[in-house]
Amino acid sequence: MSLIEAINAGLHVTAIILLAGALYSEAFLFRRGMTQDDVKKLLLADATHAFSTVLIFITGALRLFLFHSTSHTYLDNPFFALKMLLFFVVVLLSLYPSATFYRWRKALKQGKPSMISYRQHSSVIWLIRLELGVLLLIPMLVTLARAGFGS
């Protein structure tokens, strides 16, 4: 393993941990009746979420296509394919909460309070929880793919 490959692998794992932390922060911070400071913290968690997602994608693609000589075995593995599918599900599930938080960023700049209905609150919190649940499945799928199951 070269130094560049090791750095890339380390960044990949760090980004995964960062994503999990950002999601837990969003789940913890998001509630009705938030202060402006709470909203700022939530926006920071959401920005961290977006950054870590992009970093996971980039470092993962580099690991798969540049650093692994056996990338064809991963691409043919159904557990790896399911892992990739679940990663994209996590990305899709994050779109509605992030769009909601982005609207708050604009309102915050204009000095307006963050307003959310009970239905929106319920939808966002359940989407964040679902993201966390799906994210928990991915390490098991990685382990199964790396062990050669499904090949």
- Domain boundaries of the chain, sorted by first residue: 3-146
CA dist 101 and 141 (Å) reads 31
Task: Provide the whole-model pTM.
Answer: 0.88
Query: What is the block-wise mean pLDDT of the chain (151 residues), using blocks of 10 residues?
Result: 93 96 95 84 96 97 83 83 96 96 82 80 95 95 90 77
* Residues in CB range of 129: below 8 A, 6 or more apart: 27
For residue 151, the model assigns a pLDDT of 77
For residue 94, give the amino acid letter: S
For the record, the structure tokens of 135 come out as: 């994210």
For residue 61, the model assigns a pLDDT of 93
For residue 68, the model assigns a pLDDT of 75
Nearest alpha-carbon partner for 32 in 115, 98, 132: 115
For residue 22, give the amino acid letter: A
- Rounded to a whole number, what is the distance in angstroms from the first to the last CA of the chain? 24
For residue 70, the model assigns a pLDDT of 64
